[in-house]
């Protein structure tokens, strides 16, 4: 069963694995709108810290899917949404970047 701590671990691990900036990470979770960096900070704080915020199940699931897409070679920093928040495209990384990732240097 999912716990608040396990969801927070999934969230933090996924952002660390993808190496996305807080800005890029929050942009994905805000469906393309540049806002929410403060929320990323709150979710990455230890549960006992003042201002900490929990990670809900959909956020944990989304984080895991983002991490999976990263490992499959997608360039999540270039994800695009339309004005309504619909996903338009997630481009693949360039082949030389993917080979660097598989060598263990990029993840």
Q: Quick: pLDDT tens for 47-91.
A: 788 888 999 999 999 999 999 999 999 999 999 999 999 999 999
Query: Percentage of the chain with pLDDT > 90?
Result: 64
Q: How many domains does the chain have?
A: 1
Residue with tokens 């270039």: 78
Q: What is the pLDDT of residue 36?
A: 85
Nearest to 54 by CA among 62, 42, 66: 42
pLDDT band per the 50, 70, 90 thresholds, residue 2? confident
Residue 107 in domain? no
Print burial letters for 50-59: b (CB count within 10 Å at least 16), e (below 16).
eeebebeeeb
H helix runs in 1-107, sequence order:
4-18, 22-29, 37-44, 57-71, 95-102
Residue span of the structural domain in which 48 resides: 4-102
pLDDT band per the 50, 70, 90 thresholds, residue 95? confident
Task: Measure CA 63 to chain center.
Answer: 5
The CA distance from 29 to 36, in Å, is: 8
Q: What is the pLDDT of residue 107?
A: 45
Residue 19 in domain? yes
Residue 92 in domain? yes
Q: Could you give phi then psi for residue 3, rounded to 5 degrees?
A: -120, 165
CB 87 within 8 Å of CB 79: yes
């Amino acid at each position: 069963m999912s716990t608040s701590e396990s969801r927070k671990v999934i969230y933090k691990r996924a952002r660390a694995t993808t190496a996305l900036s807080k800005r890029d990470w929050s942009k994905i979770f805000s469906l393309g709108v540049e806002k929410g960096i403060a929320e990323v900070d709150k979710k990455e704080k230890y549960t006992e810290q003042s201002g900490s915020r929990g990670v809900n199940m959909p956020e944990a699931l989304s984080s895991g899917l983002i991490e999976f897409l990263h490992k499959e070679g997608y360039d999540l920093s270039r994800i695009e949404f339309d004005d309504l928040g619909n996903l338009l495209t997630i481009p693949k990384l360039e082949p030389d970047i993917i080979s660097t990732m598989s060598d263990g240097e990029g993840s």
